[in-house]
Amino acid sequence: MTGKLRSLGLKLFQKAKGGFNWTSVRPKASLPGRTFFAGRPKLLGALGVLAGGAGLLIYALEASVDASSDCVHPPHQDWNHTGLLAALDKESVRRGYFVYKEVCSSCHSLQYIAYRNLVGVCMTESEAKSEAEGITVKDGPNEEGNYFDRPGKLSDHFPSPYPNEDAARSANNGAYPPDLSYIVSARKGGEDYVFALLTGYCEPPAGFTLRDGQYFNPYFSGGAISMGKVIDNEVVSYADENVAASAAQIAKDVVTFLKWTSEPESDERRLLLIKVVLMSAFLIAMSYYIKRHKWSALKSRKIFYIPELERQAAQAAREAELAAKKAESDQCNRCENKNTDKD
């Protein structure tokens, strides 16, 4: 890694050094629209050195952080939704929601996701209403100034399994279960990290000490994690008998669901990108056609200064008048000479 950085830095320095040795050639005509960097090779070379140094510094810092990490790097998985034109698997999202509800919701919350967000993605509107009515929400005050409990509505967010952070830490040996709404976007590695964390539990190596209530996971920072292994074969039963409820499949589905909670609008943004690209291509083609064929007459015409033309026309008229008078005078003189010769 150090050798690559050194060779890249030497190449950039040589290019910048060559920029300092440029010879300034004065253009034939000084145009008002000349670029700012024309004739300033040293300034351009200095900016190149600064940009190259900043890029090397950022790359070196990123590489050093990855090299000094105290956990195993998660392997890359082939996700169906990672392509530029790929969409989330809605069936996998629906199964992932089922896994979250059955396994993860007892400890982790989804406080930034409302039940209305499930409509059209995981379930229909009637199913989402039925899911929302299964929770109890404290609302109020009413006309009498009292708070009351009511069934949930589509506008309500997912409830937290604990009333506050202290209760959550007390129930989990001092560890606070994080909210999973943006967990995929908030962790380096994204889906790969979450998938590896859920399926990477194993026995600790020799000499590694775990405290009570901790488990060994090589993908977690430090190796000791307070969350036990919750994803295993047949931990849930899918309604679709064609989908095997293996640990890998369960982890894949719940990670896909958490990817959706992190970016609920990802499919809409990809669809908007397709529309923008198609419309931009059409508009660019039309603009080129209009510029090339419709504006050619305007762009190729020659503009003259009208007062100068008027002056030239007046001078030409005076010269023509003088020439006509001179020709008439010469004609008269010739006639008089002829008459004199006859006499």
Q: Is 73 annotated as a binding residue?
A: no
Given pLDDT bands bounded at 50, 70 and 90, which one contains residue 27?
Answer: very low
Distance from the first to the final alpha carbon of the chain: 118
What is the arithmetic mean of pLDDT over 194-200? 95
Same domain, 252 and 167: yes
pLDDT, tens only, 259-291:
999 999 999 999 999 999 999 999 999 998 888
DSSP H/E element including 125: helix 125-132
Instruction: State which residues form the domain around 289.
Output: 265-297
Residue 123 counted as an annotated binding residue = no
State both tokens at 186: 């908030």
Taking only the tens place, the pLDDT of each residue in 301-329 is 777 667 777 888 888 999 999 988 888 88
Residues 177 and 238 in one domain: yes
d(CA 302, CA 300): 7
Question: Per the domain annotation, does 15 fall within a domain?
Answer: no
Cα torsion through 83, 89, 92, 93, rounded to 10: 100
Annotation-wise, does 108 bind a ligand?
yes
Provide the pLDDT for residue 156: 94
Nearest to 162 by CA among 229, 108, 228, 100: 108
Q: Determine, yes or no, domain membership for 96.
A: yes
Whether the predicted pLDDT of 235 surpasses 70:
yes
Same domain, 170 and 293: no
Tell me how far apart the alpha carbons of residues 103 and 228 are, in angstroms, rounded to a whole number: 12
Does residue 220 form part of some domain? Answer: yes
Q: Is residue 32 part of a domain?
A: no
Clarify whether residues 161 and 293 are in a common domain: no
Same domain, 283 and 253: no
* 20: confidence class by pLDDT, cuts 50, 70, 90: very low
Whether this prediction's pTM lies above 0.85 is answered by no
The better pLDDT of the pair 29, 141 is held by: 141
Residues 293, 192, single domain; the answer is: no
The reply to whether 107 sits in an annotated binding site is yes
Residues 189 and 102 occupy one common structural domain: yes
- pLDDT, residue 73, reads 87
The CATH number assigned to the domain holding 256 equals 1.10.760.10
Domain annotation covers residue 288? yes
Residue 147 lies in a domain: no
Q: Are 70 and 222 in contact (CB under 8 A)?
A: yes
100 and 200 assigned to the same domain: yes
Give 69 or 28, the one with higher predicted confidence: 69
Over residues 323-336, the mean pLDDT reads: 82
pLDDT one-digit tens code per residue, 42-100: 777 788 888 888 888 887 776 665 555 667 889 999 998 988 888 999 999 999 999 99
Total domain count, the chain: 2
pLDDT by residue (tens digit) across 167-182?
999 999 889 999 999 9
Residues 219 and 285 occupy one common structural domain: no
